[in-house]
Structure 1
Amino acid sequence: MTTAQTVTENGKTYQFDALPKEQVAGISGMDVFKLMLDGQLPAPPIMLQSNIRLKEFDHGRAVFVGQPEKQFLNPLGTIHGGWISTILDSALSCAVHTCLEPGEFYTTTSLTVNMVRPLMPGSGEVTCEGRIVHRGSRLATSEGELKDARGKLIAHATVSCMIFPNPAASSPGR
């Protein structure tokens, strides 16, 4: 069992923990994001550890921002590709999440990242936007870009996600 972490920003306290499957089983992906931004549902712990935050969302779209800092450096002194992949997977997969119906879950099945220039620490806040390309009954795809504070393209990516029933939605007694 995990213990939720909390952070207070601008007088508002946010929790970071896995989503309670039973609580989200009956609500849409859009409603999950509304409740997360309102602080009524926890945000994923990876956001806290990676210094990445959800900025905005709409049906089929999610925008994340992040601060590439020294703790994310690779041996050559640029931001590690794993951090770049994390923010891209977050935005692109969450674009899929916004399209989920009540009782649906998803997981990333493939992520293809193309890095076009290095990202340096201290380069300012980056923005990553993901947009749905296709949403079928079992598979969804999305695409998006990561841009630096000046709007220069750092990387672009595609993701495929498998859609499946929320295990808590099909448990006995529901």
Structure 2
Amino acid sequence: MATPLARSRVHTWLPPVTHAEVAGRSGIEALRLILSGDLPAAPISGTLGFQLTEVAEGRAVFEGEPGEHLLNPMGTVHGGFLATLLDSALGSAVLTVLAPGRTYTTVQLGVHLVRPVLPDTATLRCEATAVHVGRSTATAQGRVVDAADGRLYAHGTATCAVLTLPAGS
């Protein structure tokens, strides 16, 4: 049996945003700067091939491109791609309502995969909304759908710890 030809995938990224770069800005302001290209996207976006496409108060949307590079041993796109897409959108939906000097970290992520994603699946769209944002915790819910026809691939929820950034960070 002949050895198959290796494929490669190259991606680049800019240095990630620091807390100092967003100091004094609300979460939605920081995300809008990413959307406009005035701040770099998170490096994970380039690694997995997805990007922030929309933000509004309490809402964030990411879109991602499935592909062969994301396959698991069964020949379907790894569930971790969908989980990461959801985690990014869910956390960003929470971030859109946080005041300057506040941030979040995911402490629980629940993902329900309802349909397999194949390497030739069209662009996926992950729409997330904040459900509750309090002083110390927040929750959000989201759906991953086919960007063209709205067919559901996954849905999930997140619980986030809401944090105050240390002074001077």
TM-score calculated relative to the size of structure 2: 0.89
Match of 2:76 in 1: 78
Mark the runs of 5 or more structure 1 residues left unpaired by the alignment: 1-5, 8-14
Residue 152 (1) aligns with residue 151 (2)? yes
Q: Which runs of 5+ in 2 are unaligned?
A: 1-10
1:115 corresponds in structure 2 to 113
Identity over aligned residues, as a percent? 43
Tell whether the 8 Å contact from 1:66 to 1:127 is kept in structure 2 after alignment: yes
- Equivalent residue number for residue 164 of structure 1: 163
Code of the residue aligned with 1:52 in structure 2: it is F
Cα displacement (A) at 1:54: 0.7
The Cα offsets for residues 56-91 of structure 1, whole Å up to 9 and x where unpaired, read as 110100011000000000001001011010001011
* SS of equivalent residue, structure 2 residue 74: coil
125-134 vs 21-30, greater mean Cα deviation: 21-30
1:29 counterpart residue number: 27
Deviations 1:93-146 (A, max 9, x none): 100011110001110000000111111111110110000000100100000100
Distance, in Å, in 2 between the alignment partners of 1:97 and 1:16 is 21
Please state which structure has a larger fraction of its residues in strand. 1
Secondary structure, in 3 states, of the residue corresponding to 1:16? coil
Rounded to whole Å, the distance in 2 between the matches of 1:162 and 1:17 is 25
Matches of 1:35 and 1:43, distance apart in 2: 9
**CA RMSD after TM alignment:** 1.5
Tell me if structure 2 keeps the 8 A contact 1:17–1:43.
no
Aligned to 1:136: 134
* Rounded Cα–Cα distance in structure 2 between residues aligned with 1:146 and 1:38: 23
> How many pairs align?
158
Partner residue of 1:47? Answer: 45
